[in-house]
Structure 1
Amino acid sequence: PALASTPSESSQLAKLMLRQSLLSPSGKLTLSPEIIIPEPTDPTAMLLQTTEIQKLSETLRTKAKSNVAFIAGSLGSLRTMCAEQEDARGSFPGPVPVVYCSSNSGGGGGKGSAEWTEERLTEAADAGACGVLLTLNGGSELDNAAEGKDAAGDGVFVELYRLALSKGLQPIPEAVIPEANAGEWGEGEVQALVDALTEGCGEEPVGVVLSVIAEEDDDEGEGKEDDKDEETPADEDADEGEEEESEEEAPASALLPTVAKPLSKSIPILGSVRAPAGGGRIGTGVSSLRGCGFTGAILRCECVPGYRLNPDLEEVGSFWSAAISDLKSTRSKSFGFRAKVANKGLSKDVPGEWMKYQKSVMESGALGSPEEGPGGDFDSDGGDYQGF
């Protein structure tokens, strides 16, 4: 942060900013998007991208009202984003803290912390980032809580953690957990991981990310599709019964770690949501995290349709503005009210009259039938989606 004069002051100021942003005083789940900014190769595109990043940064702050921005991309992109946020200091809403991510963070594969060097951390701090996301175990999955404790005290990780602090950055540890074992991480295991990080790194982390990674079953899926034609109606009925039974046995909350309430009040424990937009999938993921005691959610780049194809940053900003606003909305869809407007000469029940008008329009067919589903131009294969 620009307000500090020494790395130590920068680190403490960054910790204060991140804690305030990632821990909601009202207990609501905080929402922070992860954005990958592609690196342009054309000189003209590089000039244009600076303006696009500035607009994206403003959108995240003023429209999406995201709690923190997790950014992966070039250091130049990071610098532009942080500079735009710093320009908003003293305004309302104020700057959104920016956390710099590895391009492989949270996805497994053993590359999560390999990209970090002393030079890169120095440049990230100079660019204005508040923190960096550091994956435990080199980005590889942690099969159990015991592995998590060992990874928290690993010499390479601890050295990298302390190096980030010395540069004025706040490191945020991320544990990558396979979905099959996530339910084994109870309140005690999560607390033990935080304690191990505190002991190994010399201070309590500003926050911890627990990212649950779904198992890849592409081969199994292909095999099932090949055998589908050979199934009899009886087999299909049996399969449906098994699916219903398995769904009852393994609720969504069983596939997530559980966070104790006292812990979540003292330190931000964040989860990752990777569900693609549409059908309320992102909202379901966010609700599951809330139900398991998490304090916040990182909405990963996989949520954005077509994120791998060098996304248009303006479209990305519009997407997150709509998605986060919808997820943070407390408006109930079943909420209704009736009130009299006490103006002279106006004795009608205004809400009631408005409801009658709406009903007449719907019955006329002008808005189409609810049973008709999406309009004719709805193209799910082309990336169209309903809801978040």
Structure 2
Amino acid sequence: MLVGALSVAVLTSRASDWRPLALVILLAALAVLSDALSIETRGQRLSGSFIALVLAMAFLGPAPAVAIALLTIGVDAARERLSRARTLSNVVTYALFPLVGGLLARGAQEAGADPAGLAYGFVVFGVYVATITLNFALTALGGRLWLGYGIGMQVRRVLVPLLPSELAAATLVLAFSVIYISIGIAAFAVLVVALVAFQFLTRALLESEERAEQLETRTTELAALQVGALAALVQTLSLRDKMTARHSAAVARYSRAIALAAGCTPEEQELVHTAGLLHDIGKFIFPDRILFAEARLSDDDWQIVKRHPAQGARVVGKVAGLAAVAEIIRCHHERVDGAGYPRGLRGEEIPLLSRIISVADTYDVMTARDSYRTPVSRQEAIAELRRVSSTQLDGRLVEAFIDLLLGSSVAFQHTTDADFEAELDLEARVRAFVA
């Protein structure tokens, strides 16, 4: 490719391409200096020298454009001490796209476009767009071969964010072309100022993109740390009392199903599922005589039990972004008749998702082995749910859950730890937290 490009550049070279010599020297100096201010991002080198090269293609010809491009990349290779493979890839790229752009500009002139006419600026604009596309394709291929970057990834992370600045650069080239046609070499004073501004703005754009990516990465890491800490608490509770952990997993699964049946949004379904997993995290305050009690609790012990929703909410509320989950946990033992705890809320005063967890919690406590109750059959549990409907529990949610149970569309087996781990799904918790 390199030999072919150089051969075509030599064969198409004309003496008139190298005049005026002052223009050749100015464009060469501008290209080299602009490249010295280049920006390295995601494996791509972005430089204002491209503007000088496009002007060389349009107002000199393919051979001078190739020569200026190779001078620019040669100085860069010496400065950066690149590997042979990277150097060859860059040299091929900087020989090909100026040649193609120069030939396109010459073809436009031979087709009747007047380099001294104002309309020629739009020819230069078109050459810019064509060659920036070819340049990206060649550099992306080099990135794929020598750095292992995927082409699609480079399009998304390099080309797409730069499209606004490249459009601005193409417009700058058009404007300079019009000025150069009107006033000649003196237009370079305008170009130098514009190029400095362009380099500065492009650098600011890329740095802001990188800061945004770093912030997103740090946010994800913080989410993983915070949600992971809660998951560790739940898993620690599981080690102390596997029944409570599996109960939390069952409540989470039932609650999500009820929320779906009640017409809640996907976000609310995820929220109630997370709250279900964490709703008993306040049981850390229970002494073993309560957590593993085989008989009914004393009045003093019941006072301790009644503190666990508020304690759990306090722990979860310490995690930034989980305030809504904390409030659901705080209210999951409130009753619609106002006789619940800790605040004695009634009816619609109780958050909907808390009322959902109350239904799921009540059913699972009745049907699964716990510390003080012998499990009952599904039919007996359904009868009890209906008995306390509209006093302890929300009647509409009770019937929605019963419909699910009778349709056998929701079930949970308190048999293995795998059920608990599947519901916990730490990675999903982190994804939901970040979203």
Which TM-score band (shorter chain)? Answer: under 0.3
Q: TM-score, normalised by structure 1?
A: 0.27
Q: TM-score, normalised by structure 2?
A: 0.24
The structure richer in strand per residue is 1
Q: Which has the higher contact order (CA 8 A, sep 6+)?
A: 1
The structure richer in helix per residue is 2
Bigger radius of gyration:
2
